[in-house]
Structure formats: structure tokens, C-alpha cells
Structure 1
Amino acid sequence: MSRTPLRPVQRVLLLFPPMHDVKIIDTMVVPPMGIASLAAYVRDMVDVALLDCVAEGYRQKVSVARHIARVGLSDDEILARVRAYRPDMVGLSCIFSNQFACVKDLSRKIREKVDPDMVIVTGGTHPSFLPEQTLSEADVDYVVLGEGELGLKQIIETHNSGGRIEDIDGVAFRTENGVQVTPRTTWIEDLDTLPFPARDLLPMETYFEAKVPMALHWRKVRNTPIVSSRGCPFKCPFCSSWRHWGQRFRKRSAENVLAEITHLKSRYNIQELKWQDDNLTADRNRAKAIFQGMIDRGLVMPWNTPNGIALWTLDGEMLDLMKKSGCFEITLAVESGDPETFRRFVKKPFTLDQAAKVARMARERRITTVAYFILGFPGETVRQVKSSIRFGLRMGVDYLVPFIFNPLPGSELWQECMQKGFLSDSLQYERSNNYMDPGALVSAGPDGKVSGGGDEVSYVQGMAYLQNLAKLPFRNPREFMANYSRKLLTAPWFLVDFLKVLWNTRSIIVSGIRQSSLFVKRNR
């Protein structure tokens, strides 16, 4: 261990750090369910506080690169809050790779300027898959791997009992011989045993004021995320989430979920839900029990699925029940519309024909549709990228969202890219997770070979997004008027920001016009 004896821990501050985000996109201001869940799990054994640096400083943006801005409280403001709370332990969440730069800076400054003996812990997807790099670059004592509740609790218990860190499951730390990584082997089997996230420790009114919820679409200002399950049984090679959550699907009971919705409505007057599940309807019977329970108990309210939904479980009966319980929008993570790319990279149990059918059935029920696509998989040609986008436009969804492939640490494709030398050890992770920025693109050359370019793919991305958006007023005038009038009324500066986006993407527009081959046309 780097420090002995172990410091007793009585006060814990869990921190959601600032983010490095693309300038042309609004950074989402969303209650961080990760640290809220951790706080609820350990609050009966220690005093705990939460600091959401993004929410409390969402108006503060500092340029760190041409396309990237740091969003959130300044380091000085954060350090002042740490000093004021006087914790024995600080936990730095690192769900996204574009938070890692802030984790590095804050861990060093807390050690140097606040308390050299502070116990500093980090966790989340990024450090879970890069524990050695995290411990070498950030001044943290521990990395909690995967699901965080058990690991954090055991670290606190060990510090207070004088036990052995080496005996904790799912943790990485420094030793005299280097870094020891103990893989996680235990998981919370019954999610109903978890307390509801500690939203009372978060600035809930700030989220309502910001009006920038997950995926940016909303119907009611007082909305909040809710998580009813963890994990995914499928193994898409571009995704790391299924590994992070134990390579399987676990779920809360319908009764437990309905109890939380009741709590949210009575305690915070929540009027809209954002399901953060990857696979909300994977268990069809449970999903139906939740939706029917919302109807029967007077809990009907607008809701959507910004993370996606188990597309293969949706049929007319399910969609009717979802609509009655308040569903106004579903996100279909199709990933690719090119048959060859779809077969190679998408391991979910649905077909492209099924995806198109679900989109059509949702439209018939006036459920807004969003479709996610990934462009530029390793080895994918520009021809395949265009083929994928043609399918996406033919689906006729309300919002087509084409992301540029970024290698997520822990995913199969990230490992493949590392092994083949497509990514360097000095990859700037603060630019990762920015799917509108081709800075980390590693593929999609015209000959199908992996390269560091991506301009043409970026053009296709921009033109597809704009072409689909231009059709929205004619395809779904009701959605167009509702969405954009709501934004103009609640955030008048939205129009200015939108014009800035058009100006910043002018090269894409001009290039798309000049290169007629980039216009996506219907297959004949």
C-alpha cells in the first residue's frame, strides 16, 4: 500500500467532476445517478456529501482545444468546497473518458493544496478498464472496478477496521511492486436491496432550471433520470457497458420501481422520467407490470428512453401500453444500416427490417422516434457508411443521430485497435466520448483500411443530420413545433446557439453540396 497505517474514514465527499465536451453541443445537466447511488449505499456508516461540478457550474465553459471546452466549476471553486467539508475521503467519479483530465488535475491539487493524506478513490467505466494507467497518471489511492457500491463500502470498512486492502474484491491500488488489480467477482444480485439514489444530496432545482436533460428532449421541466436495471446480456464489440456491469442483465422488481416513481412524484414533484436503462423492456413481463402499474396508480407522466431500449421486444401490444403510461419518445440504437457492417458489429437480436417496422409502429402511435447510428467502424468503407445512412433516412425517424465511432476503453474494438497499433498510449481521452468530433476516428478510409482521417465520414455525418432535420417540419410538424417552440420559450438563446452550430459546421455543408456523391439518396 502507498500509505500505512490506513486513515480512518468518517466523512466522504463524492464528486462528479467537470467534463471536456464538444463546444457546439450543450453539455447535459443531469443528476449523476452513480454517485447518488453510492452515497445512498454508504450513508448509514459515514457522513457523506455530493458535489456535482457540472450542474453547479454548467454556465462556466473554458476552451481547452479548438473544438473542446471544459464545462463546470473551476478547480479553485472545487478545492474550496473540499476544504469546507473537511472529508477524510474524496471519491472522483469518472463515468466518461472526457472526465479523466479533470480527475488527474483534481486528485493532484487535492493532495497538494488541501490534504496530503486525503484518501482519494475513483471509479466508473474509464478507470475500471484502465486501472494501471489511472493509478500511474492520477494521484488516487484506489480504483473501484465495475459496480461501485460493494467496493467503496469495503474500502471504508477496511480503513476503519485496520483490515487488508488486498482482500477487497474489485479494486486496484499501488504496492511496492507496482499496481495490484483484483478483478471484480461479486455483484449485487438483488437490486431491490439497494436504497433509492440520494437525490436529496443533489441540487435538484438546478437540473430543472438548466433544462438540458439527458439526450436534450423533454416535455416537462421537472424531469429526472431513473434506472430500473443494470447491464446487458449481449456483447456488441463497440460497447463496454456489458462488461462493466458483469456481462449480464440484472433488474429491479416492478414493485420496487413503482415505489421509486411514487417517491419521486411526492418528494420532488417529478413530472417526467428519463429511463437510463440500456434494456428497459428486456424482461417483457416486468416492463408491462411497470407500465400497467403507472396507469393503475396514477403515475402516468411523460417518459422516454434516451439510452435506447430493447428494440427486439417491441410490438404493437407493448407500444400501446407504453403510450398509455406516458411514453412520448423511444430511442432505437440501430448502430448500422449497412447489412455487412450490421452483421459484423451489432450483436443484438433484431434485424434491420425489424428496426424499420418498430419505427413505423411507433409513428402510428405518435411516439417520437430517435435512431442512433455509428459511422466509421474499424475497416468500414465510406461506401458502407453511406449505405448505413441511406437506411437511416429511409426509416423516417424524427431524429437521426449519426455518431462517429470512438473506441471505448474496455470494449472489444478498443482492445483490437490497441493491439493493432491504431491507438497510441498517449491517446487524449479527454477528446473521447465526443461522438461529433472526428478527432479520435481510427477508420473509414475509402479503401477500407484503418486510417487517422475521417473528413469524408464527417461530411456524411453532417449532411445526414441536416437532411433529416430539414425534413422534420414536413414529416412530423407537431413534433417540430412542440420541440423548438418549447426551446425558444424556455431558452431564447437556443436560436443563437443553433446558428452558431450551423456556422461551425459550414465546411461540412459546403463540402456536401460540392460533392454530390455525399447526398444520401433513396435506393432504387
Structure 2
Amino acid sequence: MKILFIQPPLPCNERHKRILPLGIGYLCSYLRQRLPEVELKVLDAHALNMNYSQVVSEVNCEKWDMIAFSFWTAQAPFVYNIMPSLRKKQEKALFVFGGVHTSLCPEEASEHCDICILHEGEETFFELVSRIVEGKNYKDIQGTAYREDGEFIKNPIRPLIRNLDSIPFPAWDLLPMECYTTPLHVVGGKRLPVVGSRGCPYNCTYCVSPLMWMRKVRWRSAENVIEEMKKSINELGICQFHFWDDNFLLNRKYVIELCEGILKENMKVKWTGLTRASHIQKNKDIIELLAKSGCIGLEVGIESANPETFSQIQKEESLVTIEEIAKLQKKYGMYPLFTYMAFNPGETINGYYMQSRFIDTLLSNLPWLEHFHPLPYPIYIGQFSTAYPRTQLMEDAPNLGMVLVEKWDDCFHHNINFIPNSLLNDVPIKTRNHLKPNDYLAAVNAAWAGIWTFASYSLPRFERAMEQWEYVKYLSSFFIRCDGNNTLKKIAEEVADFLNMERKKSYQYAAFSALVLAQLGLIRSALYEPELKMEIKEIKVPAGKGIKKKIKKILFLIVMNIYCFLKKR
């Protein structure tokens, strides 16, 4: 039996860091251990940056008994659209879907495939393949869904695997490992993902983890994780690791055993992981141990510096705690790493200014990290709030703001697909009369770094330049109208009419412009916090490496100086 696993490309795939398909790696190793006679192959169309025709051509080089896709929500349209072409040539293949989107939307996914694998896939997929090899019926397997004569059928969910140590390490040998070059935070260099636990007990409104793992958490043993790390060092020569656990510090006993094991084995590793600020504070007495074992810093999701936003997204964290754990990590030579989102419910213009100043404080006296921050200067873009299927945020989003998702490939966190009413109804007022050339440069660079559909590499060079110029004109028109009399929503509509631009794009540009200009202190809210003292943040935008980038910066500033001079006349 021959099985092909496919990871599809993402929207704006050329911009995205290359993500190892960990789930596929586990499925392959689990199958290979139990059914060694089955032939397995992986096509990572994301890592290889392949388009439709390239994927179809590569798949059809051979005949397959089974073709399995694992995908996120943003990848779903690619998979659905490519299926008719694949079925034409692979008429005998069984098409299987799995992954996050399939698990959340099986009724939709089952319209395009033969069978869906839901939630945790190793045991379910193994049973499916085993029954096919033995010629047995597979329609009653737990953890699957499918359609029969058009009727949707969903079998009971399979219980989660109790002993995660029973799952063999991911089959990295089946993947194009040379393609995964995303550097480790802080220090750079290749890294590998490691998952020591599955699940999270929390219920953040924007997160799919509670839906995938039912808020149940299971851990591997520290010994098992260390063996995987040693195997990666010996076989791949990679000694830097990124723990993909939903919450690394949730199990104190496990963390201590892991760090002590790394030290006992004298492993010269560097690593990071994601956790909550409150858990770092709760375990502050072991942070020195983490540092000694190679932790370069822990990632903490700030998401917002607005307490009202914390409440609405059920983040259950405090800014005081976040500030304390930043100092704690600095104390032990670690670099505090913070992720953040824009356009959460409850956010306002002044909130973006306060968030920028808050992050400035957290990162004070630290070098700027090119391997972590998307911009080489302190404007904090992060990710954009995204309402994923079946999350609480998706259910509440139409009442909380403007939903701009028209199709699933809009639904990724570097595309503005939701703007909260709290921001749309805020009233911006400028803090100085005109934008300077450097302000335009900072904003355009920020747009390119944050909005991956903006001036995309997939466009010809001239079209990219024209899109940047369009945003310059938009920013100018937007800023002029920030006079304290109109809401952000009203300004977006006026500028759309003035520039003959579609409304959706204008709303996205207005929200993004508010995010950037507020962080720079160039606009503030005319409605909230009148007592807030704001200072304009003067940012020096570096030219970047290479003579071409330096020339581009000089030319841009020359054009903007002329443009600003003419605007003042």
C-alpha cells in the first residue's frame, strides 16, 4: 500500500516561515512502527512553495492508494479546489482529510474527501489503514466522519491517547529538512519543534486548542522528550528547540525533571517555549534552573495592554504580572519574549499607544532582536485577531465588530479580517498638523511587514510599488480627517469614496493606520482618557542590508519630501 501525505501551501506562502508538519511527522512514525510494509511519502507543498499545477504534477507522478491532507483553516480552499484535478488521475485513491480545520468543520470537509480523521489522529489513522490492508469495512471507526449517499455521518470521538510516550518520534527523514530555516528566537540558527504535552486547560475566546483537545492536558515523560532531543542532535545536528506546548510551565514537576535531565546529560542546547505570565510568576523559583538548562527566554502572549480587552478575550492575566516576569527573566540572563495581537474586542486608539509604551518598558535595556520582531524598529505589529471556526470569538464577532472574512483563506493572522466596534467607533484626533517623510516610511514598512497581502512578492515590481503609493495617499487622506469629529469607521468610508477604493480595503487600511499612528503618538482618541499624556515617538528607520535597500530608502524619502512639501502648499 502506498500513502502520500500532503501539507498544502498557505495564503501568501512566500511570506510565511516554513512550519514543519509535526502532525504528519507523527502519523508517519506511528504507521511505520506498526505497519512497516506500508510505503509512505510526504509532499510539503508549503515548505517547497508549490502552486496548484506543481502539486498536481508532483502527485500524479505516481499512483497512490491513499492521499491524505492535513490543513489549517486558511489552507482549506487550496485543498478543496485541487481535489477535482487529483481525482481525475488518482481515481482509485482514497482521499483522507485531517488536521485542525477538518476537526472543527467535518461536515464541510467531508463534502470534498472520502473520510475525515478528527482530533488526535495517530490511532484513528492506523486503524483506518489496517482495515483497508485487511480488506475490512472502515465506516464505523471512532474519530472519523464521512458522507454516504450525501448524508453526513460522524462516528463517536475516539478517546485521547493516554500514554504519549508510546508514540514514536516524528519521521523527520521523510521531510525536506533543508527547507525549514526559520531561526530560533534571540540567537538565530536552525531549530526543531518539540511537543512535550498536548492540550490546554484554559478557554481563550480566540483559540482552537479547547476545541481540539477538549481542555484536557497530557504529558510525555521528561526522559522521553530528552531522548527525542538527543536523537535530533545526533542525527540532524540540530541542538536548538522550540517547545510547541500550549503552555510549557503548566506541569512544574515535568519541567524540573526536563531541565535537570538536560543538565545531567550535559546537553549543550538552546530552547524556548510558550507559557503564561502567571505561570512564570508561580514558578519563579525555578526560572534560574530553566536558564541553566539552555532556555534563552520564554514566550508570553500579551495580546493587549488594555484590561478591558483582557476581560473580553478571557485572557485572565494582569499587566503587573507581565512586567514582573520580564524583570525576572532579565535577572537570569534570559530575553523576555512577548507576542501580541491587534484588533481584539475592546481595543481603542489610546490602547495602542499604551501598549507600545508598555512593551518599550518590558524590553528596556535589551538589544533589538532581528530573529523575533518583524520590524527593525519599535512599532509592534504582531498578529491580527482572527475568528477561527467554532471559537467563541467567531460566534461573538458579528456583535463585537466588523467581520471581513469572505472565504476561508482570508482567515489567517496576517490578514485584517476583524475590526472591533470599540475601534471603529473611536474618534481619532491628530497630535500634530502634518506627517513627516519618515512617518510615511515607517508606516509603509510596517504595512509590508504586518499585512502579508500588501505589496506581495507575487506581484510584479511595478504593481508592488503602486500599492505602496496607494497606501501613502490613503495615509495622507486618513490623517487629514483625524480632526476629532468623525469615527474611524466614518473616516474609512469617506476616504474610500475620495480615493475610489473598495470599502473593505479602506476599513483594513484605516484600522492598520490607527494601530501604527497611535503607537507613534501621532493620533489619539478624542473620546477616551483625556488625561493621558502622549509623546510622539520619533523612529529612525534603518535602510536594511545591501546597497539596493539603501538606495530604495533614499529614493522613497526624496519622493516623500516632495510629496509633503506639495501637501503643505
- Shift in Å, 1:128: 1.3
- Shift in Å, 1:236: 0.7
Structure 1 CA distance for aligned equivalents of residues 27 and 96 of structure 2: 12
1:371 pairs with one of 338, 352, 355: 338
SS of residue in 2 equivalent to 1:106: helix
**Aligned residue number for residue 14 of structure 1:** 5
2:512 pairs with one of 455, 458, 466: 458
Structure 1 CA distance for aligned equivalents of residues 302 and 423 of structure 2: 22
**Aligned residue number for residue 438 of structure 1:** 416
Q: What residue identity is the alignment partner of 1:461?
A: L
- Shift in Å, 1:499: 7.2
**Aligned residue number for residue 279 of structure 1:** 247
Q: Does 1:309 align with 2:275?
A: yes
1:212 pairs with one of 179, 182, 193: 182
Indicate if the aligned counterparts of 2:345 and 2:400 stay in contact, CA closer than 8 A: no
Q: What residue identity is the alignment partner of 1:168?
A: I
**TM-score, normalised by the number of residues in structure 2:** 0.71
**Aligned residue number for residue 344 of structure 1:** 312
- Shift in Å, 1:194: 0.4
- Shift in Å, 1:466: 8.0
Q: Does 1:356 align with 2:323?
A: yes
In structure 2, the CA distance between the partners of 1:224 and 1:499, relative to structure 1 (3 Å rule), is: farther
- Shift in Å, 1:276: 1.3
Q: What residue identity is the alignment partner of 2:338?
A: A
CA deviations on 1:134-157 (whole Å, 9 max, x unpaired) are 233xx3112211112122222223
Structure 2 CA distance for aligned equivalents of residues 16 and 279 of structure 1: 25
Q: What residue identity is the alignment partner of 2:119?
A: G
Indicate if the aligned counterparts of 1:309 and 1:332 stay in contact, CA closer than 8 A: yes
The aligned runs of 1:228-243 (5 Å cut-off) are 228-243=196-211
**Aligned residue number for residue 152 of structure 2:** 179
SS of residue in 1 equivalent to 2:337: strand
**Aligned residue number for residue 296 of structure 2:** 328
Q: Does 1:427 align with 2:415?
A: no
**Gap regions ≥5 residues in structure 2:** 374-379, 427-486, 490-503, 522-535
The aligned runs of 1:100-499 (5 Å cut-off) are 100-112=76-88, 114-136=89-111, 139-207=112-180, 211-213=181-183, 217=185, 219=187, 221-305=189-273, 308-314=274-280, 315-348=283-316, 350-378=317-345, 380-396=347-363, 399=373, 400-417=380-397, 423=403, 427-435=406-414, 437-441=415-419, 443-447=421-425, 453-463=507-517, 496=549
In structure 2, the CA distance between the partners of 1:337 and 1:92, relative to structure 1 (3 Å rule), is: same
SS of residue in 2 equivalent to 1:458: helix
- Shift in Å, 1:107: 2.0
Identity %: 24
Indicate if the aligned counterparts of 1:432 and 1:440 stay in contact, CA closer than 8 A: no
Indicate if the aligned counterparts of 1:50 and 1:202 stay in contact, CA closer than 8 A: yes
Q: Give aligned pairs, total.
A: 451
Structure 2 CA distance for aligned equivalents of residues 457 and 212 of structure 1: 29
CA deviations on 1:37-74 (whole Å, 9 max, x unpaired) are 1111112322211111122x2xxxxxxxxxxxxxx113
SS of residue in 1 equivalent to 2:152: strand
- Shift in Å, 1:283: 0.4
- Shift in Å, 1:170: 1.8
CA deviations on 1:315-366 (whole Å, 9 max, x unpaired) are 4432211211111232111222211221231344x42211111112112333
Structure 2 CA distance for aligned equivalents of residues 129 and 230 of structure 1: 17
In structure 2, the CA distance between the partners of 1:135 and 1:297, relative to structure 1 (3 Å rule), is: same
Indicate if the aligned counterparts of 1:30 and 1:224 stay in contact, CA closer than 8 A: no
Q: Which is higher, the Rg of structure 1 or of structure 2?
A: 2
Structure 1 CA distance for aligned equivalents of residues 277 and 271 of structure 2: 16
In structure 2, the CA distance between the partners of 1:379 and 1:281, relative to structure 1 (3 Å rule), is: closer
Q: What residue identity is the alignment partner of 1:41?
A: Y
- Shift in Å, 1:284: 1.1
Q: What residue identity is the alignment partner of 2:8?
A: P
SS of residue in 1 equivalent to 2:246: coil
Indicate if the aligned counterparts of 1:143 and 1:172 stay in contact, CA closer than 8 A: yes
CA deviations on 1:80-110 (whole Å, 9 max, x unpaired) are 332334320111110x222112211332221
In structure 2, the CA distance between the partners of 1:466 and 1:27, relative to structure 1 (3 Å rule), is: farther
- Shift in Å, 1:290: 0.7
Structure 2 CA distance for aligned equivalents of residues 79 and 455 of structure 1: 36
**Aligned residue number for residue 87 of structure 1:** 64
**Aligned residue number for residue 69 of structure 1:** none
In structure 2, the CA distance between the partners of 1:389 and 1:185, relative to structure 1 (3 Å rule), is: farther
SS of residue in 1 equivalent to 2:248: coil
Structure 2 CA distance for aligned equivalents of residues 472 and 181 of structure 1: 57
**Aligned residue number for residue 67 of structure 1:** none
The aligned runs of 1:12-91 (5 Å cut-off) are 12-21=3-12, 26-43=15-32, 44-45=34-35, 46-55=38-47, 57=48, 72-91=49-68
Structure 1 CA distance for aligned equivalents of residues 80 and 550 of structure 2: 31
Between 1:396-405 and 1:448-457, the stretch displaced more is: 448-457
Indicate if the aligned counterparts of 1:30 and 1:225 stay in contact, CA closer than 8 A: no
Q: What residue identity is the alignment partner of 2:332?
A: R
Structure 1 CA distance for aligned equivalents of residues 519 and 349 of structure 2: 16
SS of residue in 2 equivalent to 1:29: coil
**Gap regions ≥5 residues in structure 1:** 1-9, 58-71, 475-483, 515-524
CA deviations on 1:398-446 (whole Å, 9 max, x unpaired) are 655532211112311112336999658x8321121133x3244465444
Q: What residue identity is the alignment partner of 1:325?
A: S
Indicate if the aligned counterparts of 1:404 and 1:458 stay in contact, CA closer than 8 A: no
